[in-house]
């Protein structure tokens, strides 16, 4: 889901003309990291507000910064691809007289503090890794720089050098943290369904080469993965259910159903706690997990207790691609996990990288064939992207060592060993941007429609006619089939003509693109018609909840 509010700021009760902290970050969904920090600072008596960050909408931050004059502004800068936008925002704030202490946190600043401070001269400090304790201590000493410069977990400039203080250990007892701060604007209500994001754990035990989660938590002292107690998680869910009427919970854990003995016991205790709280029949929830986490017995139990949606980390339909990404899984496991979710009629979406640094014509064909096999039945809308070289990841280091990492610190990219694939990658991005990556594109609309259809068709929700479901499956099949045919045609034309000739000739590319875009428009029109028909069935097929 992606919405831009006119003025959507979350503020501590009692905040009047002044503010201690203004936290700034993306809020396409609830920003659990910022809201956890906000709750922790509020617990210690500080006045805190969250301002949502959207490129091109700086006034959402500038207005509260000028009005409330915070002592500190904290920016949630997760990945480097947003650093130029955040830098521009900070420049504008300084130009408009905002004199607060500027600090930033997130994966990129934590793993690359020297680069971040060089790229954004307006920053005063960086809060590295987990932010609750470090930011509190920074606030307590903010007026005396010589004291805050000894706070663990910081990076700051010392003349022309960057100084790193001692690393702060990760929070071992997550139950010691207060429930994240919520306001009414983020208990979303779509078609009568209130939604809230949840987090039951922090970190991940796996070491996928493309993912910076392991590096983010692994570079600070402490366990790679920590969990809240099952009862604490259920207590928070019960509070949201009884006080705010939340009925759908979207777990943002990186790997909720991790296949370890401890996590299996945690899951059983969690499900038992849902029963004791009287929530088993009252709520629905979504998780993210790996393909090798899914076992029929535990999956069936989760479904009995309200699980309805799964985001699956598939990533590749090629054995070579899975090895490059260090997924420690196989194509057969990918297929089995998807079939298991289908058998249980769960809403699903998956992460999938059509292209990675080892891609060849053959692996791309394997990926297209995989997507056709799993998506031909119209069960879910297939999506695909190129692997991004996130800062601090093993694959970024390999690309740098091989001399293949290009671009800037904020916009890195890599080329392929086969130069024709650079052209293919360029055309895929241009042609499929709207379909794959925008809220008005086929993928987002069809995913949301699929979610709402299955929710409405689940027991206790009145059901929905099979005719609506059949039309929806047909539209998803059509979108999947068209996209894959477009990919195949693009690939074959790139190989047969060569990249330079294909780009110079242009007419072939335009025909391919126009056919894809026309099909997308037809599908979106038919989906709107289906929505109109479904209104009589009390279902909003484009509510925008999503499961990614």
353 within domain boundaries: no
| Containing structural domain, residue 153 | 10-164
Q: What is the mean pLDDT of residues 303-308?
A: 96
* Confidence band, pLDDT 50/70/90 cuts, at residue 548: low
Measured distance CA(434)–CA(388) in Å, rounded? 18
Coil, strand or helix at 51: strand
Q: Please report the pLDDT score of residue 30 as a whole number.
A: 83
What is the per-residue burial (b if ≥16 Cβ within 10 Å, else e) of 450-479?
Answer: bbbbbbbbeeeeeebeeebbebbbebbbbb
Measured distance CA(458)–CA(219) in Å, rounded? 44
- Ranking 105-114, 186-195, 283-292 by mean pLDDT, the lowest is 186-195
Q: Is 56 exposed, middle or buried (0-12, 13-18, 19+ CB in 10 A)?
A: exposed
Q: Please report the pLDDT score of residue 37 as a whole number.
A: 98
How does pLDDT run across 124-173, given as a tens digit for each residue?
Answer: 999 999 999 999 999 999 999 889 999 999 999 999 999 999 999 999 99
Q: What is the mean pLDDT of residues 376-403?
A: 96
- The radius of gyration of the chain's CA atoms, rounded to the nearest angstrom, is 24
355 within domain boundaries: no
CATH number of the structural domain spanning residue 106: 3.40.50.280
25 within domain boundaries: yes
386 within domain boundaries: no
Q: Please report the pLDDT score of residue 188 as a whole number.
A: 54
Q: Please report the pLDDT score of residue 78 as a whole number.
A: 87
- What does pTM read for this prediction? 0.91
- Ranking 6-20, 100-114, 430-444 by mean pLDDT, the lowest is 6-20
233 within domain boundaries: no
* Confidence band, pLDDT 50/70/90 cuts, at residue 535: low
Q: What is the mean pLDDT of residues 414-441?
A: 96
Q: Please report the pLDDT score of residue 193 as a whole number.
A: 79
Is the pLDDT reported for residue 518 higher than 50? yes
Count other C-beta atoms under 10 Å from residue 316's C-beta: 28
132 within domain boundaries: yes
Number of domains the chain contains: 1
504 within domain boundaries: no
Is the pLDDT reported for residue 385 higher than 70? yes
159 within domain boundaries: yes
* Confidence band, pLDDT 50/70/90 cuts, at residue 480: very high
Q: Please report the pLDDT score of residue 347 as a whole number.
A: 94
Terminal alpha carbon distance of the chain: 8
* Confidence band, pLDDT 50/70/90 cuts, at residue 531: confident
Residue 510 CB contacts under 8 Å (≥ 6 apart), including other chains: none
Check residues 188 and 391 and name the one with the higher pLDDT: 391
Given a contact cutoff of 8 angstroms between Cβ atoms, the answer to whether 484 and 373 are in contact is no
Q: Please report the pLDDT score of residue 43 as a whole number.
A: 97
């Amino acid at each position: 889901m992606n919405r831009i509010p006119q003025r959507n700021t979350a503020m501590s009760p009692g905040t009047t003309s002044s503010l201690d902290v203004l936290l700034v970050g993306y809020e396409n969904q609830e920003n659990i990291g910022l809201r956890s920090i906000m709750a922790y600072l509020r617990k210690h008596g500080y006045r805190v507000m969250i301002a949502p960050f959207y490129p091109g909408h700086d006034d959402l931050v500038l207005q509260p910064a000028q009005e409330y004059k915070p002592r500190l502004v904290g920016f949630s800068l997760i990945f480097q691809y947003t650093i130029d936008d955040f830098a521009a925002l900070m420049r504008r704030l300084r130009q408009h007289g905002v004199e607060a202490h500027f600090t930033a946190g997130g994966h990129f600043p934590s793993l690359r503090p020297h680069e971040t401070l060089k790229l954004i001269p307006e920053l005063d400090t960086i809060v590295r890794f987990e932010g609750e304790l470090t930011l509190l201590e920074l606030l307590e000493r903010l007026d005396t720089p010589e004291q805050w410069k000894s706070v663990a977990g910081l990076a700051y400039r010392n003349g022309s050098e960057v100084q790193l203080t001692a690393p702060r250990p990760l929070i071992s007892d997550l139950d010691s943290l207060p429930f994240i701060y919520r306001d009414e604007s983020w208990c979303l209500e779509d078609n009568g369904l209130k939604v809230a994001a949840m987090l039951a754990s922090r970190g991940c035990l796996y070491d996928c080469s493309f993912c910076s989660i392991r590096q983010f938590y692994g570079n600070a002292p402490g366990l790679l993965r920590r969990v809240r107690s099952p009862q604490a998680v259920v207590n928070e869910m019960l509070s949201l259910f009884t006080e705010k009427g939340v009925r759908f919970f979207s777990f943002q854990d990186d790997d909720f159903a991790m296949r370890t003995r401890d996590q299996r016991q945690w899951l059983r205790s969690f499900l038992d706690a849902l029963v004791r709280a009287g929530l088993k029949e009252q709520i629905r929830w979504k998780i993210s997990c790996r393909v090798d986490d899914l076992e029929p017995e535990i999956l069936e139990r989760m479904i009995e207790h309200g699980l309805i949606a799964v985001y699956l980390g598939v990533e590749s339909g090629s054995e070579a691609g899975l090895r490059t990404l260090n997924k420690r899984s196989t194509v057969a496991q990918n297929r089995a996990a998807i079939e298991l979710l289908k058998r249980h009629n769960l809403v699903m979406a998956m992460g999938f990288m059509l292209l990675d640094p080892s891609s060849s014509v053959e692996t791309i064909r394997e990926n297209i064939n995989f997507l056709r096999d799993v998506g031909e039945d119209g069960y879910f809308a297939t999506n695909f992207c190129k692997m991004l070289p996130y800062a601090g990841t093993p694959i970024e280091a390999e690309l740098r060592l091989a001399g293949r990492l290009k671009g800037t610190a904020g916009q890195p990219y890599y080329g392929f060993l086969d130069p024709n694939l650079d052209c293919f990658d360029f055309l895929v991005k241009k042609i499929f941007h709207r379909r794959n990556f925008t809220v008005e594109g086929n993928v987002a609309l069809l995913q949301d429609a699929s979610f709402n259809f299955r929710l409405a068709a689940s027991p206790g929700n009145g059901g929905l006619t099979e005719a609506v479901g059949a039309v929806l499956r047909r539209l998803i099949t059509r979108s999947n089939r068209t996209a894959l045919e477009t990919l195949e045609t693009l690939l074959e034309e790139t190989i047969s003509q060569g990249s330079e000739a294909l780009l110079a000739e242009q007419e072939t590319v335009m025909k391919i693109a126009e056919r894809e875009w026309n099909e997308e428009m037809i599908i979106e029109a038919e989906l709107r018609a289906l929505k109109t028909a479904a209104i009589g069935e009390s279902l909003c097929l484009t509510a925008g909840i999503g499961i990614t």
